[in-house]
Amino acid sequence: MPQVNKSTAAPPSSSESSKLWGGRFSGATDPLMEAFNESIHFDRRMYAADIKGSRAYARELRRQGILTAEEQATLDHGLELVRDEWASGAFELRPGDEDIHTANERRLGELVGSVAGKLHTGRSRNDQVATDIRLWLKDEVVKMGVYLRQLVSALVQRAQSDIDVLMPGYTHLQRAQPIRWSHFLLSYAFWFQQDAMRLEQFLPRVAQLPLGSGALAGNPFQVDRESLARELGFSSVAPNSLYATSDRDFVAEILFHCSMVMLHISRLAEDLIIYSTAEFGFVQLADAYSTGSSLMPQKKNPDSLELLRGKCGRVFGDMSGFMMTYKGLPSTYNKDMQEDKEPMFDAIDTLSGSLQITTAVIATLKIRSNRMRQSLTSDMLATDLAEYLVRKGVPFRQTHHISGEAVKMAESRGCQISDLSVADLKTLHKSFEKDVLAVWDFERSVDNRCSVGGTSRKTVLEQIQLLKKWLD
């Protein structure tokens, strides 16, 4: 095994001399600027990606004759030790560790000596950080895909178990037509499915390798970038070194995807908040995802849903803030790009937590099917009344008007439209017969909507099977 120095004592060099860029400068950096410049407090979470990229790059330097086999083995073992220190919490930051790359290289030098200085041959922090971000993000996108599938699965399971529950469907927040509760749940399941599919389509654009591009002009040591890509799990190589080091479109895109998923979560949360009010009373959140009032003992607040709705704005802010930074940059790397990571980390952390909370809320949600059924009123079947006449050969535009007159007649009498007699309806059109009474059946109305995608029992079950097939 290669010999390493496991001491954690800091070397005698100052923080100035430990900088990767320090040779050009003779004056000390203002301490305020030191703190302003540092990113280690947030980019440290990419330690594993940084070490993975460095180990692969060291192997490529060996293949190109820059490192001997023994030097490469020493570096590889040292990098493994650095990774283990991070994983165990034993890694100690030192003054001058301005970012994760500097910290890792500094600690590697302490462990293996001067050979650590060969690792950066032909490599810049410009292609290094771009590689780290993409490596880190690839894994996070896969995790988010898993969380999205778990949420879709929870929605599908609820839809299947609650298949016979009817509720009012709403447009403009006004009662519109009866639907199945399952149909409502599946509408969100399909949105989240689309989110997951977009993330899958996004992965190849993340998995473009920048490593080997140098600061901007390319690598002079003939490193095999295709080989590096395969070793690091990238599907392609960034084809232009200027593009490779300055591209952050993938950061903008993941922020957009996070925003879209959070938008869908926010809309679901808003619906459930409304349905949980005493005025609706359709659903009740589990105690685990609710809180009370510090003053009013009777209150049970849907805080989980309100936070989900609120955090949507936070993620939107991450996206818009980064876009404002990104839009005005001249070509290749600029220090402004350091501002890419915090919004990305925040958006992904927020979304990951939100997806898991949403899944738990859905899985534990109690529904009050009797309240949903009681909220169904016969005026919601006015369209069915119009369709009754359509089946008698009356043009729909005419039947729509006739049904509206029936609604008006019932309102003027202070009764439900279903309380109108056949004789009453005949005053509106001669085609009304006794069989019109069958219209006032909510189950019949729902199951008449049997085209693909509709709210009938048959079509809702078909939607469940579609999602189950995708989940499998």
Active site residues: 172, 293
28 DSSP assignment: P
Q: How many CB atoms are located within 10 Å of the residue 219 CB?
A: 21
Cα–Cα distance measured from residue 402 to residue 292, given in angstroms and rounded to the nearest whole number:
50
Cα–Cα distance measured from residue 456 to residue 160, given in angstroms and rounded to the nearest whole number:
13
Return phi, psi of residue 178, to 5°: -70, 140
175 DSSP assignment: E
Cα–Cα distance measured from residue 246 to residue 227, given in angstroms and rounded to the nearest whole number:
22
Q: Which residues pair with 171 in a beta bridge?
A: 174
> What six digits make up the tokens of 139?
């894994």
Q: Which residues pair with 178 in a beta bridge?
A: 168
301 DSSP assignment: B
The answer to whether 79 and 2 are in contact (CB under 8 A) is no
The answer to whether 309 and 266 are in contact (CB under 8 A) is yes
462 exposed, middle or buried (CB, 10 Å; 0-12, 13-18, 19+)?
middle
314 membership: H or E segment, kind and range: helix 303-326
Q: Is the dihedral of CA 224, 225, 226, 228 positive or negative?
A: positive
Q: What residue has token string 């320090």?
A: 22
Return phi, psi of residue 435, to 5°: -70, -5
> What six digits make up the tokens of 340?
């890419």
Cα–Cα distance measured from residue 314 to residue 297, given in angstroms and rounded to the nearest whole number:
31
At 282 the three-state DSSP class reads: coil
Cα–Cα distance measured from residue 468 to residue 149, given in angstroms and rounded to the nearest whole number:
10
115 DSSP assignment: G
At 429 the three-state DSSP class reads: coil
The answer to whether 205 and 250 are in contact (CB under 8 A) is yes
Q: Which residues pair with 367 in a beta bridge?
A: 283
Cα–Cα distance measured from residue 245 to residue 261, given in angstroms and rounded to the nearest whole number:
28
Q: What residue has token string 């926010």?
A: 266
CA torsion, points 182, 185, 191, 195, in degrees to nearest 10? -120
